[in-house]
Amino acid sequence: MNAIDPARMAAREALLLELTQIPTAAGHEDRVIAFVDRWVARRADRVESIRDDVGNTIIRQRRGGSARPVLVTAHLDHPAFVVTGRAGDGVVELEFRGGVNDPYFVGSAIELVGPGDHRARAVIDSLDADAKPFKRVTARPGTGEAALPEWCASGTIARWAFPRAEIADGLVHTDACDDLAAAAAALCALDELLDAPGCGHVGLLFTVAEEVGFLGTIHAARSGFIPRDARLLCLENSRSFPHDSPIGAGAILRVGDRISVFSPGLTNRLAELFGHESKSDPTFRWQRKLMAGGACEATAFASYGYESTCLCLPLGNYHNMADIDGVAAGTARAHVEREHVAVADFHSLVRMIGVAARGLDSAPAETTEQLMERLYAERSSVLRRDRET
Q: How high is the pLDDT of residue 3?
A: 72
DSSP state, residue 242: T
CA distance readout (Å), 27 to 186, 209, 240? 21, 5, 27
Cα angle 283-289-294, degrees, rounded to a multiple of 5: 130
CA distance readout (Å), 147 to 85, 111, 122? 15, 14, 9
DSSP state, residue 179: H
Cα angle 254-10-339, degrees, rounded to a multiple of 5: 45
DSSP state, residue 98: S
Residue 38, Cβ neighbours under 10 Å: how many?
Answer: 9
Instruction: State yes or no: pLDDT of 55 exceeds 80.
Output: yes
pLDDT band at 147 (very low <50, low <70, confident <90, very high): confident
Residue 330, Cβ neighbours under 10 Å: how many?
Answer: 8
Both ends of the chain: CA-CA distance in Å?
55
Residues carrying CATH 2.40.30.10, the chain: 80-160
Residues carrying CATH 3.40.630.10, the chain: 6-78+165-359
167-176, 334-343, 356-365: least confident range: 356-365
Q: How high is the pLDDT of residue 374?
A: 83
The arithmetic mean of pLDDT across residues 315-324, rounded, is 98
Q: CATH assignment of 6-78+165-359?
A: 3.40.630.10
Asked whether the beta carbons of 114 and 158 are under 8 A apart, the reply is no
The arithmetic mean of pLDDT across residues 57-69, rounded, is 94
Asked whether the beta carbons of 136 and 93 are under 8 A apart, the reply is yes
Instruction: State yes or no: pLDDT of 1 exceeds 50.
Output: no
Q: What percentage of the chain reaches a pLDDT higher than 90?
A: 86
Closest C-alpha among 286, 281, 276 to residue 254: 286
Strand partners, 336: 321
Residue 163, Cβ neighbours under 10 Å: how many?
Answer: 9
φ/ψ region of 191 (left if φ > 0, alpha if ψ in -120 to 50, else beta) reads: alpha
CA distance readout (Å), 117 to 26, 120, 142? 18, 10, 18
- Residue 267 and residue 175: Cα distance in Å, rounded? 30
- Residue 286 and residue 267: Cα distance in Å, rounded? 14
Q: Is 377 exposed, middle or buried (0-12, 13-18, 19+ CB in 10 A)?
A: exposed
1-15, 26-40, 108-122, 202-216: least confident range: 1-15
Q: How high is the pLDDT of residue 2?
A: 59
Cα angle 265-266-270, degrees, rounded to a multiple of 5: 115
- Residue 295 and residue 254: Cα distance in Å, rounded? 11
Say whether 82 sits in a helix, a strand or coil: strand
- Residue 346 and residue 181: Cα distance in Å, rounded? 8
pLDDT band at 143 (very low <50, low <70, confident <90, very high): confident
Please write the tens of the pLDDT for every residue from 195-245. Answer: 999 999 999 999 999 999 999 999 999 999 999 999 999 999 999 999 999
Architecture of domain 80-160: Beta Barrel (2.40)
The arithmetic mean of pLDDT across residues 123-137, rounded, is 97
